[in-house]
Homo-oligomer: A and B are copies of this chain.
Amino acid sequence: MKPRDEHKIEQIFQATLVLVKEKGLAGITMSEIASAAKIATGTLYIYFESKEKLINDLFTRCRKTSAETYFKGYHTEQPFKDGLKIVWLNLFDFRIEHFEEAVFMDQCYHSPYITESTKELTKKLIQPLYKLVERGMEEKLLKKMDAFMLLIFIFSGLNEFVKHSFYSERKISKSSKEELFNLMWDGIKASS
């Protein structure tokens, strides 16, 4: 018996991500995905029973990958600001290296492919980030305010900065990350 080529799943995922970045969820067809992944259309259906399943599985994988990355290198023993910066830079770098995934997930969020329960799960993944923000407030290092707003403020800048840098084909330098972090930090830090 011929075994499955598990590497094909990755090929299919990559092809889908690239196509969605280029033409959006609305613009992709199963045969295009197949040909971009260098396989036959029928083969696609050996690995994914339907288009909906393919999109959902890819969405789930993207979500997991990004969540695993956030807290790499973060420990609660670190001073708060250092820890925050590590997480913040993790997210920044992840956005850069996985730009297609961010575009894909954004598009999925308003789409007929993703089920409500899949969306619900996504919300849970930001729980650890809430904890982080709350720690900062408890240590009186951050302004005392609504955690939801603070959380969004902390990460919104990097999201949009990466997005618009890609659109305008700008390089993102190491120093620009520092600068943006400082902008954000000056906003959130407790006034002394």
- Chain A interface residues toward B at CB < 8 A: 20-27, 103, 106-107, 109-113, 123, 143, 145-146, 148-150, 152-153, 155-157, 159-161, 164, 167-168, 170, 176, 179-180, 183-188, 191
Partner of A186, one of B110, B146, B159, B186: B186
A111 pairs with B157, CB closer than 8 A = no
- The listed residue with most B CB atoms (<10 A of its CB), out of A107, A113, A185, is A107
Partner of A153, one of B109, B146, B148, B180: B180
Q: What are 26 A-B contacts defined by CB distance under 8 Å?
A: A23-B110, A23-B112, A24-B25, A24-B26, A24-B112, A26-B26, A26-B107, A26-B111, A26-B113, A27-B112, A103-B110, A106-B106, A107-B107, A145-B179, A149-B183, A150-B183, A153-B157, A153-B183, A155-B160, A156-B156, A157-B157, A159-B160, A183-B188, A184-B187, A186-B186, A186-B191
Q: Please name all residues of chain B whose beta carbon is closer than 8 Å to the beta carbon of A145 when the two chains form the complex.
A: 179
**How many copies of the polypeptide does the oligomer hold?**
2
In the bound assembly, the distance between CA atoms of A191 and B191 in angstroms comes to 13
A154 to chain B, nearest CB (A): 9
Q: Please name all residues of chain B whose beta carbon is closer than 8 Å to the beta carbon of A188 when the two chains form the complex.
A: 183, 187
Q: Please name all residues of chain B whose beta carbon is closer than 8 Å to the beta carbon of A168 when the two chains form the complex.
A: 123, 148
In the bound assembly, the distance between CA atoms of A143 and B167 in angstroms comes to 25
B157 pairs with A161, CB closer than 8 A = no
A161 pairs with B156, CB closer than 8 A = yes
A152 pairs with B148, CB closer than 8 A = no
In the bound assembly, the distance between CA atoms of A149 and B170 in angstroms comes to 11
In the bound assembly, the distance between CA atoms of A186 and B123 in angstroms comes to 29
Q: Please, which residue of chain B has its CB at the minimum distance from the CB of A189?
A: B186
Closest 5 pairs (CB-CB, A-B): A187-B187, A156-B160, A27-B112, A24-B111, A26-B26
Q: Please name all residues of chain B whose beta carbon is closer than 8 Å to the beta carbon of A185 when the two chains form the complex.
A: 187
